[in-house]
Amino acid sequence: MRFIRVISFIGIILASLLLGCQSKQVNELRAHEITSVSISESAGFSNFNTEFFITYEDENSLAFFEQLFTHAKKEQGVADMADPEYDMEVLYSNGDRHTYYLWAGSPGNQSVLMQLKDTHTIYTTSTEQTLQLLEMLDGN
């Protein structure tokens, strides 16, 4: 009987650890509070363009990008993508700088993000977030 309790306890601990790791993976795009987001036309893979045509620093835009990164869905498998449309730099309150490739979807479709440091993984947005992203990109 004691053996069953010990095994059950170990199972609960392992399940908790796995759930904790899984929760971290969902939000791995969002490190800390975002302080600015800058976007440029992409020059293709491995050529990050720092000539940004827009930088977002206002509260509403930053709140949108916080939600975009928080709810982006990590897609499993190897990503075989066409050249990106945009390059995006995100600055965080702790001083970190993360860079992404961005494919803005058409209305009714998802958009795709890819970290420059991990080009084998993509993250997709909701179709609603794509609409708001397109409005922001068109309004610059």
Residue ranges with strand state E in 22-136: 34-41, 54-56, 73-75, 86-92, 97-103, 112-115, 122-124
Taking the model in full, what pTM does it have? 0.75
pLDDT tens digits along 82-102: 899 999 999 999 999 999 999
d(CA 34, CA 31) in angstroms, rounded, equals 8
pLDDT tens digits along 101-125: 999 999 999 999 999 988 888 999 9
The CATH architecture that domain 31-138 belongs to is: Sandwich (2.60)
d(CA 103, CA 87) in angstroms, rounded, equals 9
Phi/psi at 67 (5° precision): -65, -40
d(CA 117, CA 126) in angstroms, rounded, equals 23
Please give the pLDDT value at position 91.
Answer: 95
d(CA 71, CA 68) in angstroms, rounded, equals 6
